[in-house]
Amino acid sequence: MAVVVAASRIRHPLDARTLARLAVRHAGEGPGSVVGFGLSNDERRGVTEEFAAAFAIARRGGLALVPHAGELLGPTAVETTLESIRPDRIGHGVRSVEDPRVLELVAESGVALEVCPASNVALGVYPDARDVPLRTIVSAGIPVALGADDPMLFGSRLTDQYAMARRDLAFDDAGLAELARSSIRASRAPAPVRDQVLRRIEDWLADGAAP
């Protein structure tokens, strides 16, 4: 288990710098260490560019940059985040599909999108899980880290996201396995853990998968 420290958009950007310094101080690869720095809360609040200095601190400290963007706001928010923060992964980012140019920018950047179908539906971004543009994102060649966002808030854990991908978006065993691989590759798990989990995904697929 590892930690991502996240600044809040509704707090002053100077608070984010303080948190970034604290996160870097506790960075590492051991259990309980900090591996990433994020930006959360209502993305309609705050100015993304004003948090760039905090992310620069985190970048210099070797942390993964994992801000949220592009769920409650549209593709412009994703583009702004790419330009001002230069993230490794974006929480959500699903609204990038609304502008082909921005979707292409995400694909060219190599940034992974952390897609959380249950969260998107619960917050009214999409009326139904079948409307979540996961297939469009995957087809654009964008790495996807399938996530549960906040299980305590939305009542849906990670395995539920895979079930939704199968049931509502017609991902077959091979498609689910690739989502799992992509999720692991986009993580900051230590290399031995990544290798072990990737082998288990291949074993699952070779054994005929499971319900």
Residues 47 and 148: their CA atoms lie apart, in Å, by 26
Strands 3-8 vs 34-40: parallel, antiparallel or unpaired: parallel
Phi, psi (rounded to 5 degrees) for 88: -90, -30
Q: Is 106 exposed, middle or buried (0-12, 13-18, 19+ CB in 10 A)?
A: buried
Q: Which residue out of 43, 71, 79, 114 is catalytically annotated?
A: 71
SS (H, E, C) 9-71: CCCCHHHHHHHHHHHHHCECCCCCCEEEEEEECCCCCCCHHHHHHHHHHHHHCCCEECCEECC
Phi, psi (rounded to 5 degrees) for 148: -105, 0
Chain-centroid distance of CA 27 in Å reads 19
Q: 89 by DSSP, 3-state: which? A: strand
Annotation marks residue 71 as catalytic:
yes
Residues 87 and 113: their CA atoms lie apart, in Å, by 10
Residues 71 and 39: their CA atoms lie apart, in Å, by 13
Q: 187 by DSSP, 3-state: which? A: coil
Catalytic residues: 71
